[in-house]
Structure 1
Amino acid sequence: MLDALFSPAVARNAAAIVEILGRVVPPRGLVLEIASGSGEHAVHFARAMPALDWQPSDPDEVARRSIVAHTRASGLSNLRAPLAIDATRQPWPVAKVDAIVAINMIHIAAWDATTGLMAGAGATLPVGGILYLYGPFREDGAHTAPSNAAFDDGLRTRNASWGVRDIEAVADAADTHGLHLAQRVAMPANNLSLIFRKLDRLSSNVGGASR
């Protein structure tokens, strides 16, 4: 396919991610994917959950062309044309979604991409809406596996602003925008799924007081 990009990681992790998403996203509605990359994940998700509409996005034009190529090849009617969303720039060009997915994003971007993701999610998700993150994370200030430590070193060598993020820092950034870390799920290859839920302001205040 002309313009289509391919990522070996998708073949390895798509089925495991779909299993988790099937449990946490609503049965119907609109799901926004931030930093869709090649677009292969979006095709997997849209095919596995046909009652949901999937909105891919990416700030990179080459990635968006790949998403279009994979979308056309899939023939799926519930997969929308990609949006040019940069997580750091508010407001996003979408007013309301029922869930947001970001896979292998925040460690391959500067920290302001994480804070921007949380701001955008807080603004577009309804109360009870889900933000799903997938990737490697540090816990209690330490890597969960030697391979993740080596991966982190490689990322920071490529770009000093990149790196595997601390769950606690990510959760704090989310909490600022009314998003509560509701669940942590261990995934293959020392990755994690983090599921955040949008709280109403009262619930957020009560939760903060109880910690």
Structure 2
Amino acid sequence: MENRQRAPPLLGRILDVDEALTEKFCRYSNHIPPLRWLKKYAKSLEVSCHGLPWFTGVILMIVISSSPVMHEHQVNLLFGLFVDVILVAIIKAYVRRRRPLKNRGDMFATFSIDNFSFPSGHASRAVMVAYFFTMLCPLPSFCVFPLLMWAISVCLSRILLNRHYLLDVIGGVTLGYLEGIILSILWLSEGLSCYLISWMSSTMYDEG
């Protein structure tokens, strides 16, 4: 919370335990080879799950693709990315938990709301993307394991980089799963997706 003194006693104790467990996890990770290896690539994982390359990549795919089926999947993924950004920003602005003291100010392409820690936006995005490509738009089976390993690695890397506490990542994972369910309920049809792309294209053309 922004002001720890204002936190209720029970919440304060929970946050104390969370900080202590996070500290122990980071300390013991140095003695676990897979986590030590993961820490070496944590910055690359941070960039791989940042919103900027994801939004840019999906929009670029929409522009170069002409398949209605692909447009349906691309528009819904873009919708999911927007939902994730909006929900994370709202929750962070309300909770206002500060990042761990050991966090370094070298995060990739941040905004003011990124000064806050709960929930982890990288964790929520990674889980939402994994849900999307396993439940809503399934990839070939041989791609599923690497996708899940990527999502798990992103979540763990947020702690290893001292970007977040354990509860921040757990909150992000939970939020990402809920976002996947929201997408399944509010799924945009092929016709509506193609109409939205056509409308946006004609609007941009008229303005140009």
Asked if Structure 1 and Structure 2 have the same fold, meaning a TM-score greater than 0.5 normalized by the shorter chain, the answer is no
- Ranked by relative contact order (alpha carbons within 8 Å, sequence separation 6 or more), the top structure is 2
**Larger proportion of strand:** 1
- Tell me the TM-score normalized by structure 2: 0.25
Which structure: larger Rg? 2
